Amino acid sequence: MKTCSLDDFMAEMQPWLDTEHLRNAHLNEHGHFVLQFQDGMQKVYNIDDCNLEHVREILKDLAARGISTTS
């Protein structure tokens, strides 16, 4: 798991923002942001400088891009 700021998370996530790379994005039972990739890999993030509403907005944006999301 990686702990980072929202800005760092968004910068790191930028190259993967399509369905070619991402299979699913969701919050796990601990409130961590989980990215699941098409190749089976998974990355877990603890975003430490924002609230749950900010994270839900990210999930909405990913869903609008056609990426499967759950929260």
> In the predicted model, is pLDDT for residue 14 greater than 70?
yes
**pLDDT confidence bin for 17, thresholds 50/70/90:** confident
> In the predicted model, is pLDDT for residue 69 greater than 80?
yes
CA distance 62 to 26: 10
Q: Please state which CATH number belongs to domain 2-70.
A: 3.30.720.210
**pLDDT confidence bin for 22, thresholds 50/70/90:** very high
> In the predicted model, is pLDDT for residue 23 greater than 90?
yes
Domain boundaries, the chain: 2-70
Which pLDDT tens digit goes with each residue over 25-45? 999 999 999 999 999 999 999
